Structure 1
Amino acid sequence: MTQHPSHLHVVASIEDEASGPSYSVTRLAEAQAARGLSSGIWSLADVPRVAVRAGVQRQTFAPALTGVPVLSRLAFSPGLARALDTAAGNGAVLHGHGLWLMPNLYPARAARRHGTPLVISPRGMLGAEALAFSSRRKRIMWALAQRRALEAVTCFHATSQAELEDIRAMGLTAPVAVIPNGIDIAGGDPAPGRTVLHLGRLHPKKGIDQLVAAWARVAAEFPDWRLRIVGPSEIGCRESLEAQVAELGAPRVDFDGPLYGAEKWRAYREAGLFVLPTRHENFGMVVAEALAAGTPVISTKGAPWQGLESARCGWWVDYGAEAMVPALRAALSVPGAERLAMGLRGRDWMARDFGWDNIAARMAEVYAWCRGEADRPECVVT
């Protein structure tokens, strides 16, 4: 019989490399295993495509009702539900990631039944902008099951102060551990060119249209710079952005599909500037990635990156084209040597405060507290 890990990360899927949890959940489990914590990742997949490092139990469960379109979107899996019940009965700490799908409900049911600790990371899914998409379905899900599931939580995990506020805004009163995502420091030295890069999912909530509008206003002043927009398109976002570029006559705008692995890190290293123009992010992993690659960043205040200014590696500005225009002008006017120095300061910041070993250690303290084996960690807000 398979021995269940004592700490289980439960997530609907880690198969999409463009999805933040595919990286952050996987690396958290791996870092915990490297510290000697018995750790596993359980998710849905017919055939798992994402491997994990030694020491992490990777187990997948087949989705059910795949032939029924309405129900298949909820990602039912009786096999996962049964396995979680067994694991909780054996005393495992269950750490769920994300909301609104059945794999996000099963851990609460198992934890409630057996009285075991339950940690939930909403992963940005309680933010106002996230709630606005498919809002009717989410309201129904909240009323029928999601709220009750979250009321079983021993401790929430928020990746920023802003996400803590999102949790409290939903009337949820359980303690919250505020621990950021970690980041791996990219190999290779930055080799900045004259490219303004946006990389990530192309989705309306990302505010890319505001970046395009701002670029159209400043591009003529910086004729040797280009705007590069990289990532998988969702709900026709790329087509809408391409139409906007044509309508505004914005010059030197390139669109590329998703990049992974070495190609993604090369894009970061070779960019002269990274921009996250988002409406709302609980963390904004792409900012951490860009900084880890040695690239300075402009982020809107929709993401919790006010440290860009105190670390002198970027700009933190209001959402929208009006605020983005002066930020772009300022960033693109910085001499190349100073932009390189900014990027290196950002990379040092990531190595110092966002290393995975440090993040794993802090989360282990939260688990021990949830088990009643340690005092409340400083990162936990009650």
Structure 2
Amino acid sequence: MTILMSADWFYPCHIGGPSNTIYWQARALTRAGHSVFVIATAQGQQSSVPLDKWLTMDCGQVIYTRNPHFYLPFRHIWQGWRTMRKADVVHLNSLFYPSSLVLAVLARLLGKPVIWSPHGELSPPALDYSPRIKKAVLSLIWLLRKQVLFHATCPAEATYIRQQFGPCATVSEVRNMMDIPLPVDRKARPYLLFMGRIHPIKAIDKLIDALGQSALFRQSDYELIIAGPESDPVYAKQLREQIRRLNLHQKIVFSGLVTGAIKDQFYADALITILPSKSESFGNVVLESLAQGTPVIASTGTPWEVLEAEQAGSWVPNDATALQEEIDRYLSMSPEQYQHYRSQAATLARQRFDINANVDQWQFVYQAMAA
């Protein structure tokens, strides 16, 4: 089968979880014998990445398009139009990136089946940003809704899709998965970890408030490392002011973006990873942390209630008090109980979220659409 995937951000760019999710999915499909073509933009790529030429990679054929502006993706659309003629299925990976709507229309003109993944863009907190533009785009997608299979990563996202496109919208639910890395050698260090882009939807301010009211954290040797790109500089500035106001400037460190082996080591060495987001359709950082055996505190705005059931972490409201109480629990946990959580975390990642062991879920969706 020939599959065309469109992505605004794509590996080796590490801005946002979908850039890696799409890569892992494309690689697993390529390993399973399918022909995968990925049309991506040059956004976030290093200067060493060749642009505007097809590259043979372990995830199939990939082209990184150089466009006049990120939101004027003319070459992205052109390459998508040229390539989709030989595709059996077209998979779009953003509702609001301008090329997605154009490619959806072109695919339907060619009679190509379309799968469309919002990747969290339809959650109420996400829709609060640029609401008028998004409302206009959604009204146009509404016209195509009967000819599209929408992909949801969790039941909540399936609900959001049907709220926007009607109860009869066709939705296939396939959770995000990853190519589980080998665990690195852990060097336990006294820090808590937030990993992700610095943006208001991540609710990092709630986490800082929680640490500010934790006497146990203040009196301990532990610090918080905030690792990720400052995708919202205004919010990043507000966080630094909040840290100074709470007198936590010696306990909280901004490390910037970390990737690859360094990122895995950050996860492995941490006591816990904390994801206090207002909303997530999945939250790749949770899975990346579990893969290194590090338990996670995730907010109830994320679809990670399984952490509680499997004793691989915690699923709590993202208010400061709830976060503080759970953080204190891990800071005072016995070594035996903590090791149990680490073991459960690694087991959960490998048994349920390995894309190579579960690629048949995606093959079934694509084959059903092509048929």
Q: TM-score, normalised by structure 2?
A: 0.90
Q: Shift of the alpha carbon at 1:191?
A: 3.4
Say which SS state the counterpart of residue 96 (structure 2) adopts: coil
Q: Could you tell me how far apart the structure 1 residues matched to 2:131 and 2:48 are? A: 30
Say which SS state the counterpart of residue 60 (structure 1) adopts: strand
Verify: 1:171 aligned to 2:165, yes or no: yes
What 5-or-longer segments of structure 1 have no aligned partner? Answer: 67-71, 373-382
Q: Could you tell me how far apart the structure 1 residues matched to 2:270 and 2:352 are? A: 23
From 107, 117, 123, the equivalent of 2:119 is 123
Q: Could you tell me how far apart the structure 2 residues matched to 1:220 and 1:187 are? A: 30
The one-character-per-residue Cα deviations of 1:335-376 (angstroms, maximum 9, x if unpaired) are 23422321221111111111111342210101111122xxxx
Q: Could you tell me how far apart the structure 1 residues matched to 2:125 and 2:358 are? A: 27
Say which SS state the counterpart of residue 356 (structure 2) adopts: helix
The within-5 A match list for 1:33-44 is: 33-44=30-41
Say which SS state the counterpart of residue 10 (structure 1) adopts: strand
Partner residue in 2 for 1:281: 280
Q: Are the aligned partners of 1:157 and 1:177 in contact in 2 as well (CA < 8 Å)? A: yes
Q: Are the aligned partners of 1:186 and 1:265 in contact in 2 as well (CA < 8 Å)? A: no
Partner residue in 2 for 1:22: 19
From 56, 59, 66, the equivalent of 2:60 is 56
Q: Could you tell me how far apart the structure 2 residues matched to 1:350 and 1:55 are? A: 22
Partner residue in 1 for 2:227: 230
Q: Could you tell me how far apart the structure 1 residues matched to 2:261 and 2:14 are? A: 13
Q: Are the aligned partners of 1:190 and 1:294 in contact in 2 as well (CA < 8 Å)? A: no
Verify: 1:137 aligned to 2:133, yes or no: yes
The one-character-per-residue Cα deviations of 1:21-71 (angstroms, maximum 9, x if unpaired) are 2111011001100011111211122878398743601123332xx3xxxxx
The within-5 A match list for 1:50-129 is: 53-54=57-58, 56-63=60-67, 66=68, 72-77=69-74, 79-129=75-125
Matched AA of 1:142: L
Q: Could you tell me how far apart the structure 2 residues matched to 1:224 and 1:314 are? A: 22
Q: Could you tell me how far apart the structure 1 residues matched to 2:104 and 2:82 are? A: 13
Partner residue in 2 for 1:380: none
Say which SS state the counterpart of residue 272 (structure 1) adopts: coil
Verify: 1:159 aligned to 2:149, yes or no: no
Say which SS state the counterpart of residue 150 (structure 2) adopts: strand
Higher deviation after alignment, 343-352 or 15-24: 15-24
Q: Are the aligned partners of 1:295 and 1:340 in contact in 2 as well (CA < 8 Å)? A: no
Verify: 1:182 aligned to 2:182, yes or no: no
Verify: 1:45 aligned to 2:47, yes or no: no
Q: Are the aligned partners of 1:185 and 1:350 in contact in 2 as well (CA < 8 Å)? A: no
Q: TM-score, normalised by structure 1?
A: 0.87
Q: Are the aligned partners of 1:111 and 1:152 in contact in 2 as well (CA < 8 Å)? A: no
Partner residue in 1 for 2:322: 323
Matched AA of 1:60: Y
Higher deviation after alignment, 110-119 or 196-205: 110-119
Higher deviation after alignment, 123-132 or 103-112: 103-112
The one-character-per-residue Cα deviations of 1:232-287 (angstroms, maximum 9, x if unpaired) are 11222222111101111235111111111111111101100110010000000001
Higher deviation after alignment, 27-36 or 89-98: 89-98
The within-5 A match list for 1:196-345 is: 196-220=192-216, 222-235=219-232, 236-250=234-248, 252-345=251-344
Q: Could you tell me how far apart the structure 2 residues matched to 1:192 and 1:365 are? A: 42
Partner residue in 2 for 1:362: 361
Q: Could you tell me how far apart the structure 2 residues matched to 1:240 and 1:194 are? A: 25
- Kindly report the root-mean-square deviation, in angstroms, between the aligned alpha carbons of the 2 structures: 2.1
Q: Could you tell me how far apart the structure 2 residues matched to 1:335 and 1:112 are? A: 58
Q: Are the aligned partners of 2:39 and 2:80 in contact in 1 as well (CA < 8 Å)? A: no
Say which SS state the counterpart of residue 115 (structure 2) adopts: strand
Alignment: residue pair count? 358
Residues 232 and 91 of structure 1: is their aligned pair in 2 closer, same or farther, counting only changes over 3 Å?
A: closer
